[in-house]
């Protein structure tokens, strides 16, 4: 695998902290972009420093997505807001069946934010973008007064292109479909919650943040006939499956025994009182496809570094339309509702 450590570009900011004037549109804004953003992000598209990027197009269908990231803390085991913001948006494009290509970044920075932390975040965005094979092509920076933000919020939007013959959509779940997942659930959410709660486990819980476009490409390579792809982020697999049951108007049946979860995460969920089905993932995908396609897709998933623990966790049924039912470990059945209140604020 390629080594994605970055050699350190020249950093010549004369400030330790972000000032309101860094958002003025004048010299300091200009310098922030030239001294801190461009050394890491610079490419032929971005270097023009126009207000928009002019991009090559193909005649394929376009996928377009946006996400704002407000995760707290900004740095956590396994990642930080920077790589999370790249991976999350890359994943949203991959879940459309698209090849992610171009990314925009919008920063809202609180006055007083440490320049060194900003550099660390930007460095990690660049590493994540390179790893995922996407280009950061346009951006914007705003600064708000101390006390009117919370360190840094990042919006990333993305564009990708969809190959012909691919038709992935949230209302495409079909009765009979099997449901695959690519590994252990609830790792991102519990990594964040462990830090927030100051818990130390024997082995620390590491966020699963990762770009899934490579895995998806491998899957689509063996079967163009995937019906639905979705990354179960905020609200966990329970919320994602409920949304899909509703939008496809089908029932979803999952089997608790088959849902992959590590012992450490299970223990942390018990201690902190969380149901892992509702805890966020940032490097997981759920795929729906016809049973006859399942074996070959599962096979190729297991050979990918991000899919070693892939397995079938359930199926789509005709009954119980709009609902998710789980066969529990002890053999009974229960309804898995959508999350009503707030379980984990600012998890991404």
Question: What residues between 181 and 220 interact with a copy of itself by CB under 8 A?
Answer: none
What does the per-residue mask of binding to a copy of itself show for 297-326, with x meaning CB under 8 A?
------------------------------
CA 332 to chain centre: 33
**Shortest distance (Å) from residue 331 CB to a copy of itself:** 28
- Residue 112 DSSP symbol: T
Structure tokens at 272: 């902190």
Residues 6+ apart with CB under 8 A from 26: none
* 93 vs 289 by CB, closer to a copy of itself: 93
Residue 64, phi then psi, degrees to nearest 5: -140, 130
Residues in binding contact with a copy of itself, number by CB under 8 A: 88
Distance CA 294, CA 99 (A): 22
Residues 6+ apart with CB under 8 A from 119: 11, 36, 40
Segment near a copy of itself (CB under 8 A), from 27-35, 215-223, 252-260, 307-315?
A: 27-35
CA 99 to chain centre: 15
Is there binding between residue 155 and a copy of itself (CB under 8 A)? yes
**Shortest distance (Å) from residue 8 CB to a copy of itself:** 26
Find the binding residues for a copy of itself in span 226-265 (CB under 8 A): 230-231, 233-236, 239, 243, 247
Among 17, 174, 302, 346, binds a copy of itself (CB under 8 A): 346
**Shortest distance (Å) from residue 173 CB to a copy of itself:** 12
Contact 224, 168 (CB under 8 A): no
* 207 vs 264 by CB, closer to a copy of itself: 207
HSE-CB at 338 with a 13 A cutoff on CA atoms is 12
**Shortest distance (Å) from residue 40 CB to a copy of itself:** 17
**3-state SS assignment for residue 119:** helix
Distance CA 173, CA 252 (A): 9
Segment near a copy of itself (CB under 8 A), from 74-82, 87-95, 120-128, 202-210?
A: 87-95
Is there binding between residue 157 and a copy of itself (CB under 8 A)? yes
Is there binding between residue 150 and a copy of itself (CB under 8 A)? yes
Is there binding between residue 138 and a copy of itself (CB under 8 A)? yes
Among 14, 203, 332, 340, binds a copy of itself (CB under 8 A): 340
Contact 305, 242 (CB under 8 A): no
Among 159, 205, 220, 226, binds a copy of itself (CB under 8 A): 159
Among 143, 245, 277, 289, binds a copy of itself (CB under 8 A): 143
* 144 vs 312 by CB, closer to a copy of itself: 144
DSSP 58-110: -SSEEEEEEEEE--SSSEETTEEHHHHHHHHHHHHHHTTTEEEEEEEEEEEEE
């Amino acid at each position: 695998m390629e080594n994605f450590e970055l050699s350190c570009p020249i950093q010549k900011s004369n400030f330790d902290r972000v000032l309101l004037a860094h958002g003025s549109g004048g010299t300091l804004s200009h310098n922030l972009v030239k001294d801190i953003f461009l050394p890491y992000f610079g490419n032929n598209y971005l270097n023009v420093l126009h207000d928009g990027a002019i991009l090559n197009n193909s005649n394929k269908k376009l996928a377009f997505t946006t996400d704002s990231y407000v995760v707290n803390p900004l740095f956590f085991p396994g990642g930080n807001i920077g790589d999370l913001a790249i991976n999350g948006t890359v994943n949203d494009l991959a879940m459309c069946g698209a090849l992610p290509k171009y990314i925009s970044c919008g920063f809202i920075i609180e006055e007083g934010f440490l320049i060194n932390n900003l550099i660390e975040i930007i460095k990690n965005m660049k590493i994540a973008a390179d790893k995922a094979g996407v280009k950061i092509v346009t951006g914007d920076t705003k600064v708000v007064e101390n006390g009117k933000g919370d360190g840094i919020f990042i919006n990333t939007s993305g564009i990708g292109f969809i190959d012909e013959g691919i038709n992935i959509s949230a209302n495409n779940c079909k009765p009979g479909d099997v449901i695959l997942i690519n590994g252990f659930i609830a790792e991102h959410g519990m990594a964040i919650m462990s830090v927030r709660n100051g818990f130390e486990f024997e082995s620390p819980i590491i966020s699963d943040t990762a770009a899934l476009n490579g895995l998806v490409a491998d899957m689509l390579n063996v079967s163009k006939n995937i019906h639905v792809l979705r990354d179960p982020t905020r609200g966990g697999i329970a919320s994602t499956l409920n949304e899909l049951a509703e939008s496809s108007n089908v029932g979803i049946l999952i089997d608790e025994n088959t849902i992959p979860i590590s012992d450490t995460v299970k223990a942390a969920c018990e201690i902190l009182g969380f149901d892992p089905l509702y805890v966020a993932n940032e490097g997981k995908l759920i795929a729906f496809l016809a049973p006859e396609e399942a074996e070959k897709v599962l096979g190729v998933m297991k050979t990918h570094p991000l899919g070693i623990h892939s397995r079938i966790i359930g199926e789509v049924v005709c009954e119980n339309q709009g609902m998710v039912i789980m066969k529990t470990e002890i053999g009974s059945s229960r309804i898995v509702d959508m999350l009503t209140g707030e379980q984990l604020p600012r998890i991404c």
